[in-house]
Every structure is written in structure tokens, then in C-alpha cells.
């Protein structure tokens, strides 16, 4: 089974002629079609105390032997019963593979026997039969699915995506002479996250920071194929996982083999504040978060001599307005003096951005190492230790910290006007840029002087450390 329609059914535009769709493997899809269908065995009598969320497939308190007899050896037949040994506990008895399988059944608003939760018993049994059939028939095949993935062999898709991107970006800047044809839309829409990743990876302007995929269990409507191994994702619900940042769809077992090469899609990034730093810069294809660049540019243009810069707070409501402007308008947010004449509002918005990061600029992984470095008494050894820990930061975090320290150094060069030296800025930015992994007030209070010292060292030695 192929990803797109046969070429005879639609003509690709000229700039997409190089694109050859990947071949999706149909074996597991065929097995799902062959899987036994559920057959509900109805109880002929009205059962007292039947739970309201079960139907007439519930047969009350009966033994395993009685359940086996009721199923009659019919493949896919099932009943529900209440346990004789444990009243109040319920069991799904299902016929598969010439034997009766018994599963402890639960209900918390949805039905489940394992991780998956279903709206109906029928769906649960259908999904179970598919899974049992495929995992029985294709156990060896499934175990080898990840050994020859298509994921690393998609260079053929690159040229298409680059040409489509150029054509679309050009159309934004130039008047259109003709309407975009249906075929052009089809070609663009057919580009999967797999193809998109290949194009961005080969883009010369792309900042190639490493980023892990943000996989979450997903239910796919209609047939879907894994974009890592090219095999069908079987089952009714929760057939695989999807990266919530770039949209990559893979089997759960395949997700463990996918490289850390997530290329976030701007359509999936709902906001700027509170977004993971690396995710944001990769989505915008920038070296640093655009909030940092835009705010620092505005501060340096009109605020370096402002007394108490970064120490003096702006109005909270106005700072929240700036935050909403970035979340809503992105890089087009207007934070000029015409809109926000008080520079302390802009410094407040920048500090808020750093505080709202789910992973601080100085990451949780490196926090304790920085604190240990700050405790070294010998100045030269301390500086060397700080430099070594800096090298452990993720590239996007390192670049953001470097740029910020260059800016703060400029702030200190105007100390005679703004009264802000490296120590004062360390007090302000210490708890803003670094937080202990455990949410402990006692740890935070104990580490405050070391947090301040780290930022002070970074500012004073930015030309040496970065």
C-alpha cells in the first residue's frame, strides 16, 4: 500500500516531480482485517444486581467451567461474569486460539483490562482480538520491525519540501498572478512530518539544535502507518504515539529508536511563554528565543542608563500584556516606547519569560554542578569548574545564556547611571535563571548566595567563559 494515490489519478506540480512516496508495508494491516470478530453471548435471563455499565453479555456469578461451556468453542465469543471467589470483581471470558482467556475487568467511567480505556465492552473486545491475533501470528515480524526503518532513508523527500517552502514563502511576498491549483494544495498537504523533518534537516539556515520528541499516546482515526518502520499501527485506539511538537507518528516500541531530531511545527506551538526553550527556537528556526532578542534589543536601545534597571519592577498588569502580545503575535509583538514607555515593563517581561520556562536556562541537570562550582574557594579553580559545567548545557540554553550575559555586561558598563553592577544583577537573575530540581523552599534559600555568585561570575567573565 502506498502513501498517495497512483500518479495517473493526479498530476503533481512540476516542482514536486522529484518526490517519490514511501511504500507502506501492508502485512499487519492484512492481519488486522483477518482478526476474529467479537461475538457477544447474551444471557437468556435477567440477572439481578447487574452493574448498570454492563449489558446482556453479563451472566452473573458463574464458574470458569460454566463460562467455557457457554462460549461453545466459538472463536471471538465472549461473556462477562462475576467472580465466584471474589464477589464484586468482574471477569471478561474470551475465546481465542482454541482456549478460553479470562481477564480481570475494570470500570472507572471507561472499560479496561490494561492501559487502554474503552467506551464500550464491544470496542475493548474488538481491540483485544486484533492485538491477540497480530501478536500471535506476527510475533517474530514485530520483534524485527525496527531493524530496517525507513526513517533514515528519506532524502528523496527533501527537494520537494524545499521547493514547496520556497514557493509558498514567495507567494506571501509577491502578488499572485493565478490561483493555486488543487493539485498544488494536494502535494503540499500530502507532506508528512517525516518529509518535513528531512527538509528542515537539510536546510542550510536551520539551527541544528538536538531536541527529543515529545511523544504522547494517540488514537488515530482511520488506517495509519508508522513513520519510523513503515508498518501499520494496529488496533482501535491508542495504536501508537504522536510527537505533540512536530506531529511524527510512530509505534510506541519504535519511539525508543527515533533520534533526538524533533523539528517542531509552529502550528503545534500554542504559545511563547511557558514553552520549552529548545522547542521554541527550533519551531521559529532561530538561535535564541525571539522574546530574548526582541526584549534585549529594546532595552539596549533606550534603557541601559535607566536607574535600577532589572531591579525596579514594572506594573504587573502591563508585564502580563507584553506576555500576551508575544503569545498572540510572536515576533510581531509591539513593545516599542509608543506602547510601553516604561522600560521596566520590558525588563519585567524578559525576567518573566525566564521564570516561566518549564526547564530553566541553567537546567535542572546542571544545577547541582553549578552550585558545587560556586562553593570552590580558589577563584581560578572555580572559574574553570564553571566553564566545564557550561559545556554540559543544551546548545540552545548555552546560546541564550551567552547572549544574555553579553547584554548584562553592557548593563554593568553603565553602572554610573543605572547603579547596577554584576553583584546586583546576580541577585536579580540568580533565582530567575536557575532553580533546584526539587521544589524545596529550604534548598532555594540555602542556595541563593551561590545562585547570585554564579550569575555574577558569568557576567564578569563572559568574554572568557563563552
Question: Which of 242, 244, 260 lies closest to 252 in space, CA to CA?
Answer: 242
CA distances from 148 to 25, 231, 259, 260 (A): 12, 11, 14, 18
Mean pLDDT over all residues of the chain? 85
From the number of C-beta atoms within 10 Å of its C-beta (0-12, 13-18, 19+), residue 197 rates as buried
User: What is the per-residue pLDDT across 318-343, written as a single tens digit (0 to 9) for each?
Assistant: 999 999 999 999 999 999 999 999 99
Residue 28's SS3 state is: helix
Predicted local distance difference test score (pLDDT) of residue 344: 97
Given this model, what pLDDT does residue 261 score? 85
Q: What residues contact 197, with CB distance under 8 A and at least 6 apart?
A: 154, 246, 248, 261, 263
**36 vs 229: CA distance, rounded Å:** 26
Contacts of 331 (CB under 8 A, 6+ apart): 284, 290, 294
Neighbours of 376 (CB within 10 A): 14
Q: Which single residue is written with the C-alpha cell 522600560?
A: 343
Does residue 430 carry a pLDDT above 80?
Answer: yes
Model confidence at 17: pLDDT above 70: no
Confidence of residue 208 (pLDDT cuts 50, 70, 90): low
CA nearest 344: which of 299, 404, 297? Answer: 299
| Domain residue extents for the chain | 26-144, 145-154+208-263, 290-464
CATH code for residues 290-464: 1.10.555.10
Cβ pair 242, 249 in contact under 8 A = yes
How confident is the model over 209-268, as pLDDT tens digits?
888 999 999 999 888 999 999 999 999 999 999 998 888 999 999 999 998 888 888 888
3-state DSSP assignment of residue 404: helix
The percentage of the chain sitting over the pLDDT mark of 70, rounded to a whole number, equals 83
Between 438 and 170, the more confident residue is 438
Determine which helix (DSSP H) or strand (DSSP E) holds 92, and give its type and residue range.
strand 90-96
Considering the segment(s) 145-154+208-263 as one domain, its CATH architecture is 2-Layer Sandwich (3.30)
- Report the greatest alpha carbon distance in the chain: 92
Q: Quick check: 325 and 353 in contact, CB under 8 A?
A: no
Q: What is the pLDDT of residue 234?
A: 95
List of long-range contacts for 87-93, beta carbons under 8 Å, 24+ apart: 87/61, 90/51, 90/54, 91/67, 92/121, 92/124, 92/125, 93/64, 93/67, 93/68
Q: Are strands 111-112 and 99-107 parallel, antiparallel or unpaired?
A: antiparallel
Residue with cell 515593563: 345
Residue 120 has pLDDT above 80, yes or no: yes
Q: Are 218 and 266 in contact (CB under 8 A)?
A: no
Give pLDDT, residue 438: 85
Q: What angle do CA 78, 241, 123 make, to 5 degrees?
A: 20
Q: Do 145-154+208-263 and 290-464 agree at the fold level?
A: no
Q: Which residue has the cell 461474569?
A: 81
Indicate whether 445 pLDDT > 90: no
pLDDT category of residue 3 using cuts at 50, 70 and 90: very low
* Average pLDDT for 117-140: 96
Taking the CB of residue 238, how many other CB atoms lie within 10 A of it?
17
309 burial via Cβ count (<10 Å: 0-12, 13-18, 19+): buried
Percent of the chain with pLDDT over 90: 70
Query: Is 128 in contact with 236 (CB distance < 8 Å)?
Result: no
Q: For 26-144, which CATH class?
A: alpha beta
Average pLDDT over residues 400-428: 97
Distance CA 279, CA 265 (A): 9
Contact between residue 192 and residue 3 where contact means Cβ atoms under 8 Å apart:
yes
Q: Which of 230, 33, 234 is nearest to 116 (CA)?
A: 234
Amino acid at each position: 500500500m502506498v502513501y498517495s494515490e497512483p500518479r495517473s489519478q493526479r498530476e503533481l506540480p512540476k516542482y514536486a516531480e522529484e518526490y517519490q512516496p514511501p511504500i507502506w508495508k501492508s502485512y499487519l494491516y492484512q492481519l488486522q482485517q483477518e482478526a476474529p470478530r467479537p461475538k457477544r453471548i447474551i444471557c437468556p435471563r435477567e440477572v439481578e444486581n447487574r452493574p448498570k455499565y454492563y449489558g446482556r453479555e453479563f451472566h452473573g456469578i458463574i464458574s470458569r467451567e460454566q463460562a467455557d461451556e457457554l462460549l461453545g468453542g466459538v472463536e471471538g465469543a465472549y461473556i462477562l461474569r462475576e467472580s465466584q471467589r471474589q464477589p464484586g470483581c468482574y471477569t471478561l471470558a474470551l475465546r481465542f486460539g482454541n482456549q478460553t482467556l479470562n481477564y480481570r475487568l475494570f470500570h472507572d467511567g471507561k472499560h479496561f483490562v490494561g492501559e487502554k480505556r474503552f467506551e464500550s465492552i464491544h470496542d475493548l473486545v474488538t481491540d483485544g482480538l486484533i492485538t491477540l491475533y497480530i501478536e500471535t501470528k506476527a510475533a517474530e515480524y514485530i520483534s524485527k520491525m525496527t531493524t530496517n526503518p525507513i526513517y533514515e532513508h528519506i532524502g528523496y523527500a527533501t527537494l520537494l519540501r524545499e521547493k514547496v517552502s520556497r514557493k509558498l514563502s514567495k507567494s506571501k511576498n509577491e502578488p499572485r498572478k493565478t490561483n493555486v491549483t488543487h493539485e498544488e494544495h494536494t502535494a503540499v498537504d500530502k507532506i508528512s512530518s517525516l518529509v518535513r523533518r528531512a527538509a528542515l534537516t537539510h536546510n542550510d539556515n536551520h539551527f541544528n539544535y538536538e531536541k527529543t520528541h515529545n511523544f504522547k499516546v494517540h488514537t488515530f482515526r482511520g488506517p495509519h502507518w508508522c513513520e519510523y518502520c513503515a508498518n501499520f499501527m494496529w488496533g482501535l485506539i491508542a495504536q501508537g504515539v504522536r510527537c505533540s511538537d512536530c506531529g511524527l507518528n510512530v509505534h510506541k516500541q519504535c519511539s525508543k529508536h527515533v533520534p533526538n531530531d524533533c523539528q517542531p511545527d509552529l502550528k503545534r506551538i500554542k504559545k511563547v511563554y511557558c514553552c520549552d526553550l529548545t522547542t521554541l527556537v527550533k519551531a521559529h528556526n532561530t538561535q535564541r528565543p525571539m522574546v530574548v532578542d526582541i526584549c534585549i534589543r529594546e532595552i539596549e536601545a533606550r534603557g541601559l542608563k535607566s536607574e535600577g534597571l532589572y531591579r525596579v519592577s514594572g506594573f504587573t498588569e502591563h508585564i502580563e500584556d507584553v506576555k500576551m502580545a508575544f503569545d498572540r503575535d510572536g515576533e510581531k509583538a509591539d513593545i516599542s516606547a509608543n506602547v510601553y514607555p516604561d522600560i521596566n515593563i520590558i525588563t519585567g517581561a524578559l525576567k518573566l519569560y525566564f521564570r516561566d520556562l518549564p526547564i530553566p536556562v541553567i537546567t535542572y541537570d546542571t544545577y547541582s554542578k553549578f552550585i558545587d562550582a560556586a562553593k570552590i574557594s580558589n577563584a581560578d579553580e572555580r572559574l574553570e569548574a564553571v566553564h566545564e559545567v557550561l559545556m554540559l548545557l543544551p546548545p540552545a540554553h548555552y546560546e541564550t545564556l551567552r547572549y544574555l550575559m553579553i547584554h548584562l555586561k553592557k548593563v554593568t558598563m553603565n553602572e554610573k547611571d543605572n547603579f547596577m553592577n554584576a553583584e546586583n544583577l546576580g541577585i536579580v537573575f540568580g533565582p530567575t535563571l536557575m532553580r533546584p530540581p526539587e521544589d524545596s523552599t529550604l534548598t532555594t534559600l540555602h542556595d541563593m548566595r551561590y545562585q547570585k555568585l554564579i550569575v555574577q561570575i558569568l557576567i564578569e567573565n563572559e568574554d572568557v567563559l563563552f
